[in-house]
Chains A and B, each alone.
Chain A
Amino acid sequence: MDIQEVAAVKRFEYKVPGGKLLRAKLEIENGRIMSLQLSGDFFMEPETDLEELESKLTGFKAEPAAHVEATVVSFFTSHKTRMTGASPKDFAYVINQAIKA
Chain B
Amino acid sequence: MPQRFRFLDLKVNDAYTNMAVDEAITKARGEGKVPDTLRFYMWKPSAVTLGYFQSVEDEVNLEALNRFGFNLNRRISGGGAVLNSETGEITYSVILKEDDPRVSTDPIESYHLLCQGIIDALNVLGIKADFKPINDIVVVGKKISGNAQIRRYGAVLHHGTLLVDFDAKQMFGALKISKEKLSDKMIQQAEERITTIRRLLGRQIGFPEVRDALEKGYRKALNAELVKSELTPYEQELVKQFRERYASRAWIYRR
Contact = CB atoms under 8 A, between A and B. Distances in A.
A63 interface: no
The number of chain A residues touching the other chain, given as a range, is 20 to 34
A43 B77 contact: yes
A41 B58 CA distance: 11
B180 A15 contact: yes
B188 interface: no
A76 interface: no
A8 interface: no
Interface string B92-115: 000000000000000110000000
B172 interface: no
A20 interface: yes
Q: Interface on chain A toward B: helix, strand, loop, or mixed SS? A: strand
A14 B55 contact: no
A38 B149 CA distance: 20
Contacts of B80: 20-21, 41
A15 B178 contact: yes
A43 B184 contact: no
B79 A37 contact: no
B60 to A, nearest CB: 12
B180 A41 contact: no
A39 B53 contact: yes
Given A13-B180, A20-B134, A43 B54 contact: no
B255 A47 contact: no
Nearest to B105: A82
Interface in B48-83: 51-55, 58, 76-81
A42 B78 contact: yes
A31 interface: no
Nearest to B184: A15
Interface string B137-178: 000000000001111000000000000000000000000001
B134 A13 contact: no
A85 B108 CA distance: 10
B11 interface: no
A43 B55 contact: no
B134 A84 contact: yes
Contacts of B184: 15, 17
B203 interface: no
A85 B77 CA distance: 14
B181 interface: yes
Contact of A21 (B135, B178, B255): B178
Contact of B55 (A20, A37, A82, A84): A37
Interface of B: 51-55, 58, 76-81, 107-108, 134-135, 148-151, 178, 180-181, 183-184, 255
14 contacts: A13-B178, A14-B180, A15-B178, A15-B180, A15-B181, A15-B183, A20-B80, A39-B53, A43-B77, A44-B78, A45-B150, A45-B151, A47-B53, A47-B78
Ranked nearest first, the 8 interchain pairs of A and B with the lowest CB-CB distance are A41-B80, A43-B78, A39-B55, A15-B184, A15-B180, A84-B107, A13-B180, A39-B255
